[in-house]
Amino acid sequence: MSRAFSLFIQENHRLLVITSSIMDKTARILDANLNRGREGLRVVEDVVRFVLDDMDLASRIKTMRHMVTLLVRQLPLDELELLRARDSQGDVGMNLNCASEDLRPDLSHIVSANIHRSQEAMRVLEELSKLYSGNVALQFKKLRFQIYELEKEIVPELVKYLTQDKHT
């Protein structure tokens, strides 16, 4: 249910006016991408933890996942607003799938897909955070670049592990 009000935010000597309708839609996009980003990182974290047995790297990924939550808490939206904005059953993209999503040939492809999912989510969070806070947007950008580096670190290691496992 939409509330009729406007939010006025002053940042860098600019006055931003965000209507309740736009806030509701923005909250829905933020919620979806928060979930997407954290879920993707969780898949990667579990593979690193249980397959590669790399607790240090798993801990770094967990920290990144929790950073997403900490960053969004700096925006002028509370978790209840995000939850209220969620409409999973009414999501017109709920049944959009491509063939590559239905079957993955090995764990490295699963990890790559989930890293990319997290990178894309961080980009959306970065862009929409600009409506509220340039600083939070910058932090999401930094996190996105950390995930790019994470991909370079994990995927080759996982491919190496999977290749060795096939030959033993």
* pLDDT 10s digits, 82-118: 677 666 666 656 666 666 666 677 899 999 999 999 9
Whole-number Å distance between alpha carbons of 51 and 30: 31
Give the model's pLDDT for residue 12. Answer: 57
Give the model's pLDDT for residue 15. Answer: 53
- pTM of the predicted protein model: 0.80
Helices 55-72 and 134-166: crossing angle in degrees, nearest 10, is 150
Pick out the chain residues at pLDDT < 70.
1-23, 82, 85-103, 166-168
Whole-number Å distance between alpha carbons of 63 and 69: 10
Whole-number Å distance between alpha carbons of 101 and 114: 11
